[in-house]
Amino acid sequence: LRDALLAAAERILERDGVGGLTLRAAAREAGVSHAAPTHHFGDLSGLVSELAASGFRRFAAALGAAAVAQGAAPDRRLDAMGRAYVAFAAAHPGLFTLMFRSERLDPARPALKEAMDAAAAVLGGAVEARQPGNEAPSTLTMAAGAVRAWALVHGFAVLLLDRRLDHIVAQLPPGTTATTLLDEVLKSPAG
């Protein structure tokens, strides 16, 4: 029942946005009593936090799979993860928005904290592997590299979801897509 409620909540989220997601709506969508979500999640914050945790686990898996598919070259792995990041956002816009922009989440919930930490570790590992030389990078260098990579792809994903890239892509040669534009952005040297 818990999984059915999470699946129902995600359907509502993708169809109606965060504003349409309530405990009653999740129960109705799942075809269960109105008390069922409260029994499993406590309150709406519990439901959306568990849904976001599920999203972060799937997100981390997508990033990891993209990195593995690219083999050993650290730059290629990080670029593949960037593409996977944007693809996840495009495929699950409601869930992505909930995961990264919702004040409804309870970051103290163990499942959400663990899932967020795991996703951050996937990105951090790719950034660390990209560091030149044999010396371990400083904590500040690692943090700066992770934030740089994250800001680049997260910003692109948000611009894509907000349809802010449509005009730019329309001005490019025929056949150019947002994915083509992302590939070019990823080729640009980091500043």
Contact 46, 9 (CB under 8 A): no
CA 169 to chain centre: 23
Q: What's this model's pTM, rounded to 2 decimal places?
A: 0.90
* pLDDT (0 to 100) of residue 181: 97
Mean pLDDT of 83-109: 94
* pLDDT (0 to 100) of residue 138: 77
Q: In the predicted model, is pLDDT for residue 46 greater than 60? A: yes
Q: In the predicted model, is pLDDT for residue 127 greater than 60? A: yes
* pLDDT (0 to 100) of residue 123: 85
- In sequence order, what DSSP letters do the residues of 24-82 get, joined into one string? HHHHHHHTS-TTHHHHHHSSHHHHHHHHHHHHHHHHHHHHHHHHHHTTT-HHHHHHHHH
Report the mean per-residue pLDDT for the chain. 91
> Cβ contacts of residue 70 below 8 Å, gap of 6+?
76, 77, 79, 80
pLDDT tier at 191 (50, 70, 90 boundaries)?
very low
Distance, CA of 179 to CA of 189 (rounded, Å): 18
CA 102 to chain centre: 13
Read off the pLDDT of residues 149-170 as tens digits, 9 standing for 90 and up. Answer: 899 999 999 999 999 999 999 9
Of 35-39, 125-129, 167-171, least confident by mean pLDDT is 125-129
Q: In the predicted model, is pLDDT for residue 18 greater than 50? A: yes
- Per DSSP, 133 falls in state S
Higher pLDDT, 143 or 173: 173
Mean pLDDT of 93-118: 93
